[in-house]
Amino acid sequence: MSSCKIDHTIDDVTKKLNEQTPYMDTSLVEKCFNFLSTSVSQADLNELFHLLKKYDLASEDEKKTRMNKMEKLVQ
């Protein structure tokens, strides 16, 4: 994902996840929420935020790529 100088808070990431939930696989959404309930590093928060950002507007291929990255991040 593109690099960004902004550190996103857990609230930012949770809000973005809630916005994108209708466009995502239910099991992945659940894994993301579980992941966010643990102690998450700032780098991981930023990564997840950018994977979620404009997810709904991404092409099907891009969504698959992002889903794979999210799966690896939140496991």
Ordered by start, the domain boundaries in the chain are 10-74
User: Residues with Cβ < 8 Å from 15, sequence gap 6 or more?
Assistant: none
Which amino acid is residue 16, in one-letter code?
Answer: K
- The answer to whether 29 and 67 have CB atoms below 8 angstroms apart is no
- The answer to whether 1 and 43 have CB atoms below 8 angstroms apart is no
**Whole-angstrom Cα distance, residue 13 to residue 6?**
12
> Is the per-residue pLDDT at 72 higher than 60?
yes
- Structure pTM? 0.91
**Whole-angstrom Cα distance, residue 8 to residue 53?**
12
pLDDT digits (tens, 9 = 90+) for 7-54: 999 999 999 999 999 999 999 999 999 999 999 999 999 999 999 999
- Mean pLDDT in residue range 53-62: 97
